[in-house]
Amino acid sequence: MSPHNKIDLEPPVLTHLLGLDGVPEPVITEILDTAENFLAVLERPIPKVPSLRGVTVANLFFENSTRTRISFELAEKRLSADTINFSTSGSSVAKGETLLDTVKNIEAMKVDVVVMRHWAAGSSKFLADRIDAKVVNAGDGTHEHPTQGLLDMLTIRRKLGALKGLKVLILGDIAHSRVARSNIFGLLNCGAEVKVCGPATLIPREAESLGVEVIPDLDEGLKWCNVVNVLRLQLERMSQGLIPSLRDYQRRYGLTRLRLEKAAKDIVVMHPGPMNRGVEIDSNVADGPWSVILSQVKHGVAVRMAALFLISGREKDEG
Amino acid sequence: MTTERTKACIIDRVGMERTLARLAAEIVERNRGAGNIALIGIRTRGAPLAHRLAKLISSLEGGKNIPVGILDITLYRDDYLISRKTPKVRATEIPFDIQDRAVVLVDDVLYTGRTVRAAIDAVLDYGRPDRIQLAVLVDRGGREMPVAGDFVGKKLVTSPGEEVRVHLEEVDGRDEVIIVELSSESA
């Protein structure tokens, strides 16, 4: 192949993936387009490509997560990267110390990419500023969970064709949700409309400044939206006094078949998992014709492959 | 500054028609008919060439349908981690089972052989073909891998300071192959 015939060379788009805040639409689109091609790879007889042969990825999970870790690990293996796993739910060490210790260990092991889940908001940025490896945020406190946001966006795009102009309702505990924040940033950057719905105690004060309107009534919200993304209700919100009871929450904000039928239109239902069936979502909704929840899981592997692939191909020092 | 000068037109529109007709005939002859053949074009310009060859083979073989696939080799490149820029990943479309087929890879220019190496690896991840052959419009020499074309339109000897440019109706609006001389001049 002569140089002139090489496929178009694109400028660098990603050095780290720390969040979707401030990531412009063309970059998100490139990640999603690349993920589409990885979905095709995952359907092949041999669902693996050699692209990241020789690349070492460390999965650092300072907070429990089974499915996100498995999804990342599978994505890494499908790209032929070498992986090491480090999990701890440790809380005895002060957070600054823990992260700096981690940084030193990472540098000693000479890994190329760090995938990190941590309970402290901003921790992945903290790490990215201090190590040579590239960093993918797998969820940092209540800040962001960009790959979840991207896989939700890929799921919506594949189901409804485009993101621009779509109406997405995010339902539940917005205040504590990094999933909500990454979805809000990503969707707004791609021209979708986003509104949030949930108890006033679980709506962040900065909701309006994020560019999303609050709809207090779920039925109103369903009337408005094309997509509803149902968030998991952490059961400790009850002991914190933020909701009166699970039953009350279910009655006002639980997504039921009845409510969807009352809305009388096509609504795509998503949930990042794990679900509290019978609380924020009913079983006949989760398993019903509205649901794309299992597609989300499948798309998660492809989106993570795309993110890992795109950050690996570029020099850290560039752009 | 790099300047370039067209040195020669080595295949024109009519020449391209004749060359492709000959390649199609050779493919049929070598495989004793078109019974088991599938063509896979390597993106970008191998794809339209594969479609043209399939049409030509089909007319030689009484209208038999020849399956055509398109291959993107980006995920199999050997320079992905070292090049400073990253090519866009595009779709690979192989809408048929390659198991036990005679797969003919189609590309416009055969040069270092690295693209073909990547393409062979990619094809093998779709199954086990009976054999893989290579058809190229131009072989310009300069190999860096032990790769040879089975069906070659035109063989050239070129220097690294030259580029072989294939233009195709479907992509570029005209059919021709030209040699361009590149020279660096300090401004």
CB neighbour list of residue A16: distance below 8 Å, 6 or more residues apart: A124, A128, A134, A135, A136, A137, A311
Best residue of A2, A42, A52, A312 to probe chain B, by most B CBs closer than 10 Å = A2
B107 contacts chain A (CB < 8 A)? yes
pTM (2 decimals)? 0.90
Secondary structure (DSSP) of A177-236: -HHHHHHHHHHHHTT-EEEEES-GGGS-TTTGGGT-EE---HHHHHHH-SEEEEPP--TH
Instruction: Specify the pLDDT at position B82.
Output: 80
Every domain of chain A with CATH number 3.40.50.1370 lies at 3-145+300-312, 146-297
Instruction: Specify the pLDDT at position A292.
Output: 98
**At residue B101, what is the residue type?**
R
The per-residue pLDDT for range A241-295, each reduced to its tens digit, is: 899 999 999 999 999 999 999 999 999 999 999 999 999 999 999 999 999 999 9
A7 contacts chain B (CB < 8 A)? yes
Instruction: Specify the pLDDT at position A314.
Output: 55
Q: What tokens were used for B33?
A: 């008919």
The per-residue pLDDT for range A286-295, each reduced to its tens digit, is: 999 999 999 9
A266 contacts chain B (CB < 8 A)? no
Share of chain A above pLDDT 90, in %: 76
Instruction: Specify the pLDDT at position A2.
Output: 39
Instruction: Give the domain range for residue B63.
Output: 2-78+86-184
Dihedral angle computed from the Cα positions of residues B112, B117, B120 and B125, in that order, rounded to the nearest 10 degrees? -140
Q: What is the mean pLDDT of residues A81-97?
A: 69
Are the Cβ atoms of B90 and A12 closer than 8 angstroms? no
B85 contacts chain A (CB < 8 A)? yes
Q: Which architecture, in CATH terms, is A3-145+300-312?
A: 3-Layer(aba) Sandwich (3.40)
Q: What is the mean pLDDT of residues A116-142?
A: 93
A155 touches A227 (CB < 8 A)? no
3-class DSSP assignment, residue A137: strand
The per-residue pLDDT for range A50-64, each reduced to its tens digit, is: 999 999 999 999 888
User: Which residue, among A15, A19, A47, has the nearest Cα to A189 in the 3D structure?
Assistant: A19
Nearest to A5 among B90, B92, B166 (CB): B166
A122 contacts chain B (CB < 8 A)? no
Q: What is the CATH number of the domain that holds B109?
A: 3.40.50.2020
Nearest CA in chain A to B82: A313
A310 contacts chain B (CB < 8 A)? yes
- DSSP letter, residue A21: T
Supply the mean pLDDT for chain A: 90
Secondary structure (DSSP) of B60-103: HTTT----EEEE--GGG-SSTTTSSSEEPP---B--S--TT-EE
Distance from CA of B126 to the nearest CA of A (A): 6
pLDDT at A89 over 70: no
3-class DSSP assignment, residue A317: coil
Nearest CA in chain B to A4: B165
pLDDT at A177 over 80: yes
CB neighbour list of residue A187: distance below 8 Å, 6 or more residues apart: A149, A153, A163, A166, A168, A194
Best residue of A5, A48, A82, A308 to probe chain B, by most B CBs closer than 10 Å = A5
Are the Cβ atoms of A34 and B91 closer than 8 angstroms? no
Nearest to A50 among B45, B121, B140 (CB): B121
Nearest CA in chain B to A32: B89
A121 touches A204 (CB < 8 A)? no
Least confident of A92-96, A183-187, A193-197, B70-74: A92-96
pLDDT at A319 over 50: no
pLDDT-based confidence at A96, cuts 50/70/90? low
A300 touches A270 (CB < 8 A)? no
Question: Per the structure, how many domains does chain B have?
Answer: 1
Instruction: Specify the pLDDT at position A317.
Output: 43
Distance from CA of B182 to the nearest CA of A (A): 12
Averaged pLDDT in 10-residue chunks for chain B of 187 residues: 87 97 98 95 97 98 96 92 79 95 98 97 96 98 96 94 95 96 72
* Crossing angle for the helix pair A293-312 and A67-78, to the nearest 10 degrees: 50
pLDDT at A227 over 80: yes
Distance from CA of A95 to the nearest CA of B (A): 34
Q: What is the mean pLDDT of residues A103-113?
A: 82
Q: What is the mean pLDDT of residues A16-23?
A: 96
B108 contacts chain A (CB < 8 A)? yes
pLDDT-based confidence at A237, cuts 50/70/90? confident
Q: Which architecture, in CATH terms, is A146-297?
A: 3-Layer(aba) Sandwich (3.40)
